[in-house]
Chains A and B, each alone.
Chain A
Amino acid sequence: DAKTTQPNSMESNEEEPVHLPCNHSTISGTDYIHWYRQLPSQGPEYVIHGLTSNVNNRMASLAIAEDRKSSTLILHRATLRDAAVYYCILRDGSGATNKLIFGTGTLLAVQP
């Protein structure tokens, strides 16, 4: 199973952009890059996903490196409600494996 590596924690100031990195050097051609976040005492929630091209939605942007061995989740203007653990995971689009392994994620602290 392809693994991801993220920093344990990051800090940001409110209203500033946040760039959360994820390394996935063993990614295969059929793996989609997914990001989820988990607010305190809640289940994880979907943020964004992509395959090769950069993606934008109302919550965030996902920048994918050209070789796909790394990606960055971008929160354009952090708010206090964005304080959470952010998980980067790979989902196999071919169905060769359906295990979904979460790493330890990045704990994002947002300072007012």
Chain B
Amino acid sequence: NAGVTQTPKFRILKIGQSMTLQCTQDMNHNYMYWYRQDPGMGLKLIYYSVGAGITDKGEVPNGYNVSRSTTEDFPLRLELAAPSQTSVYFCASSRDRGTGELFFGEGSRLTVL
């Protein structure tokens, strides 16, 4: 199994540009999460989803949007990129709540100049 796949792995954006970080999982997991990790810091939750069509805000949702039209995909949209969004972004999924192990992607490193 591929697990959780994120694309792209690296991207450089100019201020004001927009882009979408893709996240796909092939484990039929209901729960999916987007985190960002700034250098030397812990993970901050941006958005999460408990199933297709259901999303909710995390700790730091401003400047981002998500959608969940299928179980497999959970794209993260950055509108009007700002230098403060320079970070490593991780997507994660789990089968269920509570006992479900979280599976993480390899991360997407985004730089906004």
Contact = CB atoms under 8 A, between A and B. Distances in A.
Interface in B92-113: 92, 97-107
A106 to B, nearest CB: 11
A92 B97 contact: yes
Contact of A30 (B41, B48, B98, B104): B98
Interface of B: 31, 33, 35, 41-45, 48, 50, 56, 58-59, 90, 92, 97-107
Contacts, number: 66
A7 interface: no
B59 A101 contact: yes
Interface of A: 30, 32, 34, 36, 42-46, 49, 85, 87, 91-95, 98-105
B42 A42 contact: no
Q: Which of B44, B100, B105 has the most CB of A within 10 A?
A: B100
A91 B101 CA distance: 10
Given A98-B50, A100-B45, A103-B42, A43 B98 contact: no
Given A42-B106, A44-B90, A99 B99 contact: no
Contacts of A92: 97-98
A32 B98 contact: yes
Given A43-B107, A92-B97, A93-B97, A36 B42 contact: no
Nearest to A31: B98
Contacts of B59: 99, 101
Contacts of B106: 42-43
A30 B104 CA distance: 24
A95 B99 CA distance: 11
B42 A95 contact: no
Contacts of B35: 102
Given A44-B90, A49-B101, A101 B45 contact: yes
